[in-house]
């Protein structure tokens, strides 16, 4: 069975991403074409790149936190990254979590669910660049959630029907690509 990790990329105390990630998981859970799990970066505190060797050149890690993160990420065939947009960019804990590893991400699919004032579009575009460098296949459909249309009074998450339809198509793509890439991962 194809396994997809839904990664909650913000660790801020007042983050809005938790509601978004649970919404993604709730819409994904009834599916029978893949298994979905929530991966909260708060549960994987990673200091800023403290491994002595870049992950591109080694998958032998010195630190227990890196080995634990590697084991978590290696268990999945694809990912949905739930990201905020902070100052026109990706939250630093998410970028750091991506940069900690290399081989564990390669030849896997990734979908993007972003939120922010402008739907988190700029953070999503930055993540597409990072995904390419990590040899991940980013799917075309993405969900962009505006703080002005998907939240009541900027506090209560209430996604529109259009957002739900877009998420369903995004999940279709990430499952299809994750499944299709399994033979490539097996060959490596």
> Rounded to 5 degrees, what angle do the CA atoms 175, 177, 179 make?
65
- Residue identified by tokens 């499944």 is 179
For residues 123 and 83, the answer to whether their CB atoms sit within 8 Å is yes
Query: Which domains are delineated in the chain?
Result: 3-187 (3.40.50.360)
Helix, strand or coil for residue 60? coil
Helix, strand or coil for residue 47? coil
Taking Cα atoms as reference points, which of 147, 149, 31 lies closest to residue 80? 31
Q: Per-residue pLDDT averaged across 60-73, rounded?
A: 96
Taking Cα atoms as reference points, which of 61, 115, 56, 123 lies closest to residue 95? 123
Residue burial 52-71, b: 16+ Cβ < 10 Å; e: rest: eeebeeeeebeeeebeebbe
- pLDDT tops 90 at residue 115: yes
d(C-alpha 119, C-alpha 68), whole Å = 32
DSSP 3-state percent helix, strand, coil across the chain (nearest 5): 40, 25, 40
pLDDT at 126: 98
| Residue range 24-52, pLDDT digits in tens | 999 999 999 999 999 999 999 999 999 99
Left if phi > 0, otherwise alpha if psi is -120 to 50, otherwise beta: which for 35? beta
| Secondary structure string (H, E, C) spanning 159-181 | CCHHHHHHHHHHHHHHHHHHHHC
- Note the pTM of the prediction, 2 decimals: 0.97
Centre a 10 Å sphere on the Cβ of residue 183 and count the other Cβ atoms it contains. 9
| Residue range 138-171, pLDDT digits in tens | 999 999 999 999 999 989 999 999 999 999 999 9
d(C-alpha 61, C-alpha 171), whole Å = 32
pLDDT at 187: 85
- pLDDT tops 90 at residue 179: yes
| Residue range 73-111, pLDDT digits in tens | 999 999 999 999 999 999 999 999 999 999 999 999 999
- pLDDT tops 90 at residue 116: yes
pLDDT band at 120 (very low <50, low <70, confident <90, very high): very high
Q: Per-residue pLDDT averaged across 50-61, rounded?
A: 90
pLDDT at 114: 98
């Amino acid at each position: 069975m194809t396994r997809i990790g839904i990664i909650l990329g913000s660790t801020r105390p007042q983050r809005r991403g938790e509601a978004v990630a649970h919404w993604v998981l709730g819409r994904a859970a009834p599916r029978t074409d893949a298994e979905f799990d929530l991966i909260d970066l708060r549960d994987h505190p990673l200091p800023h790149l403290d491994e002595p060797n870049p992950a591109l050149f080694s998958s032998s890690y010195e630190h227990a936190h890196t080995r634990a993160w590697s084991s978590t990420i290696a268990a999945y065939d694809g990912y949905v990254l739930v990201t905020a947009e902070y100052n026109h960019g990706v939250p630093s804990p998410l970028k750091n979590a991506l940069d900690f590893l290399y081989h564990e991400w390669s030849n896997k699919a990734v979908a993007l669910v972003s939120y922010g004032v402008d739907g988190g579009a700029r953070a999503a575009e930055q993540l597409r660049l990072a995904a390419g460098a990590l040899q991940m296949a980013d799917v075309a459909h993405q969900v962009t959630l505006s703080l002005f249309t998907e939240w009541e009074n900027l506090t209560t998450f209430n996604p529109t029907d259009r957002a739900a339809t877009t998420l369903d198509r995004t999940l279709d793509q990430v499952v299809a690509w994750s499944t299709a890439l399994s033979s490539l991962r097996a060959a490596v």
